[in-house]
């Protein structure tokens, strides 16, 4: 950082790249002030496709762009590298950025495998740079308020939680990239992509997990991409997991890419946590507190952009050199639970966490 300027280099022009750019631009435009000092945020962008790079640069007012990856990961003027590339390209570019002393941020999952995630975690520890991973649900108003209520002890002893998430991806894939279904590129299916969110969020709210049981399925084994090319689905499109917590509480999580949402679904994902003195029902932006047999009261929440909130927190940690969470250690902890889930499928048994 020079002259109170921070340059964030974003890798990727896909769906999540655009989400990240919008959030970084929001932080830039709203400004960052810490302890009386103001910081100017600059954005840089890498992408393979010059047309996509140019379009996003115009949309988000980005002056520095490149179609050469190491121009951002090694550039002295870049302070933070944020990787939104496909899963197989998380490890390499981020290790290169770390080698050049960059602070690093990563779209989840941290890596395709537990071994890759541990390697990356050791690298940032050795380099002494700040590191973060996207877990935007922690920063959404519904889960954030639920965490406050649970931490206060208002619900008493927690009995169990239920999480439901899913939407229908047509056999001709139009609402997500085809690489999500290819093991080499993705590393895993919906367990690695979406269950990972809840394997981060629930322990953050309810404490450590002591055991994991899981089942998966591939219900559409053949798909077609937007160009009409047929391909075999190599990773699960549905996962059902049960968690046992050290406290004795249980959680049931169901995620599916072949699930049709009901007409009355107003929140997604849908969480319910039940305790001795009350219950919580919430989604990203809404929350109800339940008491008695069927009495629910909605709580007013302030809308936020959870990605922008998370990025602002991360930059604050970079500037002040203070610890930040969720970091890559949290990413490894999630990968340990994902790994336990996959082992539970293979071994058809509850796996100690």
pLDDT in tens, 145-173: 999 999 999 999 999 999 999 999 999 99
According to the model, what pLDDT value does residue 293 have? 78
Q: Domain for residue 13, yes or no?
A: yes
For the sheet with 351-352, list strands across it.
295-299, 287-291, 279-282, 270-275, 158-166, 250-256, 238-245, 209-217, 351-352
User: In the predicted model, is pLDDT for residue 103 greater than 80?
Assistant: yes
Residue 127 contacts residue 98 (beta carbons within 8 Å):
yes
pLDDT tens for each residue of 52-70:
999 999 999 999 999 999 9
Mark whether 52 and 151 lie in a shared domain: no
User: In the predicted model, is pLDDT for residue 100 greater than 90?
Assistant: yes
- Residues 217-233, mean pLDDT to the nearest whole number: 94
Mark whether 131 and 263 lie in a shared domain: no
Measured in residues, the chain has a length of 353
User: In the predicted model, is pLDDT for residue 42 greater than 80?
Assistant: yes
Q: Domain for residue 312, yes or no?
A: yes
110 falls in which pLDDT band (50, 70, 90)?
A: very high
According to the model, what pLDDT value does residue 226 have? 83
The crossing angle, in degrees rounded to 10, of helices 114-127 and 91-99 is 10
Mark whether 241 and 277 lie in a shared domain: yes
Tally of domains in the chain: 2
User: In the predicted model, is pLDDT for residue 294 greater than 80?
Assistant: no
Alpha-helical (H) ranges within the chain are 15-30, 50-60, 70-73, 91-99, 114-127, 141-152, 183-186, 190, 196-206, 306-320, 328-347
24 falls in which pLDDT band (50, 70, 90)?
A: very high
Q: Domain for residue 239, yes or no?
A: yes
Mark whether 212 and 270 lie in a shared domain: yes
Q: Could you tell me which residues come within 8 angstroms of residue 228 by beta carbon, excluding any fewer than 6 positions away?
A: none
- Residues 18-45, mean pLDDT to the nearest whole number: 95
Mark whether 183 and 278 lie in a shared domain: yes
**Local structure of 335: helix, strand or coil:** helix
Mark whether 78 and 175 lie in a shared domain: no
Q: Domain for residue 332, yes or no?
A: no
pLDDT tens for each residue of 118-141:
999 999 999 999 999 999 999 999
According to the model, what pLDDT value does residue 227 have? 86
Q: Domain for residue 170, yes or no?
A: yes
According to the model, what pLDDT value does residue 236 have? 98
Mark whether 154 and 131 lie in a shared domain: no
pLDDT tens for each residue of 173-186:
987 789 999 999 99
217 falls in which pLDDT band (50, 70, 90)?
A: very high
Q: What is the CATH number of the domain that holds 125?
A: 3.40.50.720
Mark whether 181 and 269 lie in a shared domain: yes
According to the model, what pLDDT value does residue 3 have? 81
User: In the predicted model, is pLDDT for residue 194 greater than 90?
Assistant: yes
Our measurement of the distance from residue 152's CA atom to the centroid of its chain's CA atoms, rounded to an integer in Å, reads: 26
Distance separating alpha carbons of residues 90 and 93, to the nearest angstrom:
6
Mark whether 292 and 196 lie in a shared domain: yes
Nearest alpha carbon to residue 13 among 86, 72, 110: 86
Mark whether 179 and 220 lie in a shared domain: yes
According to the model, what pLDDT value does residue 177 have? 84
Mean pLDDT, the chain, as a whole number? 96
18 falls in which pLDDT band (50, 70, 90)?
A: very high
Instruction: Give the range of the structural domain holding residue 42, as residue numbers without chain letter.
Output: 5-136+306-327
Query: What pTM does this model have?
Result: 0.96
């Amino acid at each position: 950082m020079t002259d109170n300027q921070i340059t964030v280099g974003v890798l990727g022009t896909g769906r999540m790249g655009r989400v990240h750019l919008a959030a970084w631009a929001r932080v830039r435009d709203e400004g960052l002030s810490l302890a009386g000092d103001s910081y100017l945020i600059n954005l840089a962008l890498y992408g393979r496709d010059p047309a996509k790079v140019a379009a996003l640069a115009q949309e988000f007012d980005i002056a520095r762009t490149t179609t050469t990856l190491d121009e951002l990961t090694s550039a002295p003027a870049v302070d933070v590298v944020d990787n939104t590339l496909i899963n197989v390209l998380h490890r390499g570019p981020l290790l290169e950025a770390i080698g050049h002393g960059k602070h690093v941020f990563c779209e989840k999952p941290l890596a395709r495998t537990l071994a890759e995630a541990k390697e990356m975690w050791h690298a940032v520890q050795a380099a002494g740079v700040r590191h973060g991973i996207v877990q935007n649900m922690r920063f959404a108003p519904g889960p954030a308020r639920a965490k406050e209520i649970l931490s206060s002890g208002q619900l008493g002893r927690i009995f169990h939680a239920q999480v439901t998430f899913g939407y229908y991806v047509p056999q001709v894939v139009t609402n997500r990239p085809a690489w999500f279904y290819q093991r080499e590129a993705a590393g895993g299916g919906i367990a690695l992509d979406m269950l990972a969110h809840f394997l981060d969020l629930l322990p953050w709210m309810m404490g450590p997990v002591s055991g994991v049981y899981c089942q998966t399925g591939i219900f559409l084994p053949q798909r077609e991409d937007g160009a009409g090319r047929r391909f075999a689905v190599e990773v699960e499109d549905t996962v059902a997991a049960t968690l046992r917590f050290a406290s004795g509480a249980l959680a049931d999580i169901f995620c599916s890419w072949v699930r049709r949402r009901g007409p009355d679904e107003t929140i997604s994902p849908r969480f319910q946590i039940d305790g001795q003195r009350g219950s919580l029902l919430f989604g990203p932006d809404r929350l109800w507190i339940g008491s008695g047999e069927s009495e629910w009261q909605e709580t007013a929440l302030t809308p936020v952009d959870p990605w922008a909130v998370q990025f602002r927190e991360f930059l604050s940690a970079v500037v002040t050199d203070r610890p930040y969470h969720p970091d890559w250690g949290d990413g490894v902890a999630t990968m340990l639970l994902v790994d336990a889930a996959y082992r539970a499928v293979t071994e058809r048994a509850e796996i100690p966490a």
